[in-house]
Structure formats: structure tokens, C-alpha cells
Amino acid sequence: MSDTHTVAAAIRAALLTADPTGKVMATRRAARDWRLGRLAFAFDGIMPDRPARPERPELLRPRDMPRRGKGGSERGQIALLHALAHIEFTAIDLALDMAGRFGSGEGPLFVSEWLSVAADEALHFALLERRLRAFGSHYGAMPAHDGLWESAHTTRHDVLARLAIVPMVLEARGLDVTPITVERFRIAGDEASARVLQRIFSDEIRHVRFGTAHFQRVCQTRAIPPAQTWQGLVAAHFTGSIKPPFNDSARLTAGLPREFYAGIAL
Ligand SMILES: [Fe+2]
Ligand SMILES: [Fe+2]
């Protein structure tokens, strides 16, 4: 296709693909074509304000979401898998947008890393969607909320703000909660889902590490102190709270020491 010969056009095409399987394929193709040198480092098209989404799941405001209840029951497990699949589906677009929106300013390595993250998220989504199908359900069978994309939208003007919120708050939060979720699946006897979540956990450490490394680099370029700058950006752009329990060791492995978040935790 002639319109996907630049990396920006390939990313834009994936963002504008609504169908879940289609988005997974377009994302993996963009990442592979970039890796193989088939796409020019050129940013000719602007990224869409909102990525295309399938008709289902219906997107609700977070406060309108039905309560999930406590894990144990099979319905509870399906609801949990569905919520996780939606997070990964949104994460595909978050990583694509990071590469497409900020890649021209940040360079080819930045593009390589966030496209590899996008490909990981596409795989995570596909693995969770397969678990949903094993339970006789599918992505779109339940409502979901759009809170994650809001964080991308409010930080679209500045790569530093985007890095501060998406990998260093949202994905870092995943490091805190995922081991607990793995345990929940184990207790429910669902070893297959536990293994998927374990795989996701180790990939997410890498994603947070990319985020913190680029954040540190940009701070260095701008000659500003990283920890204080991060705290200021979180106060300005994140409406939730930074709350314990923290997985300090996973966060540290990802390059995010306590001096960043301990002082502002609730
Ligand atoms: Fe993920
Ligand atoms: Fe991720």
C-alpha cells in the first residue's frame, strides 16, 4: 500500500483501524516493517485525536461502570479478563500514539522502542482475548471505560508529560497490581490466565524502563531535575492518586526509584 511507506503513515493506519484483530495485525505489521527497514523515518501525517474503536465494547465513564464484585465466580473471572483485555487494547493505541506523535522529535530509537511496546501490547491483547474465548466470551461482550485514553489526550502537547503519565504512572501501577492478579487467577485454578499475566508483567517492566529512560534523557536535555519535574507533571496532569502498596523492587528494576513517588503517595 502506497500510503504506508512512512513510519507515521503505518502508525496512523493502525490507530485508525477499529476492528480488534485488524488493529493487532496492523500494529504488528508496522512494528515488523519498521524493524526490517521497510518504512522511512518520515512524519507526514498528523496523529488522530482519537484512535478508531470497535462498536463494542460500549465505553462508559469510569463511575458508570458496573461493579465487578469479588473474583471467585466464573462471571467475576470473565469480567476481570475483559477489563484486562480492554487495558491492553487501549495500550496498543497509547504506544502507537507515543511513537507517531513524538517520534519525529525524539528520533529513530524512540520510534523503535515504542513500536516494540505496541507490538507487545497487541500480543497481550490477543492472549487475553484467547482466554476470554476459552470461557465462551469475547472482547466487546461487556462495557469498558475510556479513562486511559484521556491521559493520552491531556498530555498530547508534550513528550515529557506523556512519558510522566503513561509509562511512569499508569504502566508502573500495573507493576504493583499484576502480581496480585496472577495470584487471584492461581487461587481460582486458572493457571492459563495466571501464565498470561506473568508474561505481561515481565514485558511491562521493560515498558516502564523505556519510559523512565526517555524521561531522564529529556530532563537532561532540558537541564531540569527528573524527580521534581515528574512530581510536578503528575500533579498537573493526573487526576487519580499515586497510592500504595507499591512493588518497589519491580519499579526499581524499571528505573523508577522511590524518591520519585514516595513523597507524593497518599
Ligand atoms: Fe501490556
Ligand atoms: Fe505496557
Q: Largest alpha-carbon pair distance within the chain?
A: 53
Q: What percent of the chain has pLDDT over 90?
A: 85
Q: Looking at the CA of 86, which ligand is closest?
A: 1
In angstroms, the CA 239 to CA 255 distance is 23
Rg (CA), the chain: 18
**Measured in angstroms, how far is the CA atom of residue 203 from the centroid of ligand 2?**
7
Residue 132 CB-half CA count within 13 A: 20
120-180-202 Cα angle (round to 5): 30
**Measured in angstroms, how far is the CA atom of residue 2 from the centroid of ligand 1?**
30
Tens of pLDDT, residue by residue over 22-52, are 999 999 999 999 999 999 999 988 899 999 9
Tens of pLDDT, residue by residue over 121-176, are 999 999 999 999 999 999 999 999 888 888 899 999 999 999 999 999 999 999 99
Average pLDDT over residues 167-196: 96
**Measured in angstroms, how far is the CA atom of residue 27 from the centroid of ligand 1?**
14
Q: Looking at the CA of 204, which ligand is closest?
A: 2
In angstroms, the CA 130 to CA 168 distance is 28
pLDDT of residue 2: 44
Tens of pLDDT, residue by residue over 78-87, are 999 999 999 9
Residues whose CB falls within 8 Å of the CB of residue 93, separated by 6 or more in sequence, listed in order: 15, 23, 51, 149, 152
DSSP per-residue string spanning 170-219: IIHHHHHHHHHHHHHHHHTT-HHHHHHHHHHHHHHHHHHHHHHHHHHHHH
pLDDT of residue 147: 81
pLDDT of residue 148: 84
Asked if the model's pLDDT at residue 204 lies above 80, the reply is yes
In angstroms, the CA 218 to CA 241 distance is 24
**Measured in angstroms, how far is the CA atom of residue 224 from the centroid of ligand 2?**
26
| Average per-residue pLDDT for the chain | 94
**Measured in angstroms, how far is the CA atom of residue 205 from the centroid of ligand 1?**
10
**Measured in angstroms, how far is the CA atom of residue 2 from the centroid of ligand 2?**
30
**Measured in angstroms, how far is the CA atom of residue 200 from the centroid of ligand 1?**
6
Cis peptide leading into residue 48 (ω within 30°): no
**Measured in angstroms, how far is the CA atom of residue 206 from the centroid of ligand 1?**
10
Asked if the model's pLDDT at residue 260 lies above 70, the reply is yes
**Measured in angstroms, how far is the CA atom of residue 18 from the centroid of ligand 2?**
20
Q: Is 218 within 8 Å of 167 (Cβ atoms)?
A: no
Per mean pLDDT, which range of 57-71, 88-102, 185-199 is the poorest? 57-71
In angstroms, the CA 201 to CA 176 distance is 10
pLDDT of residue 118: 98
pTM for the whole thing?
Answer: 0.95
pLDDT of residue 68: 64
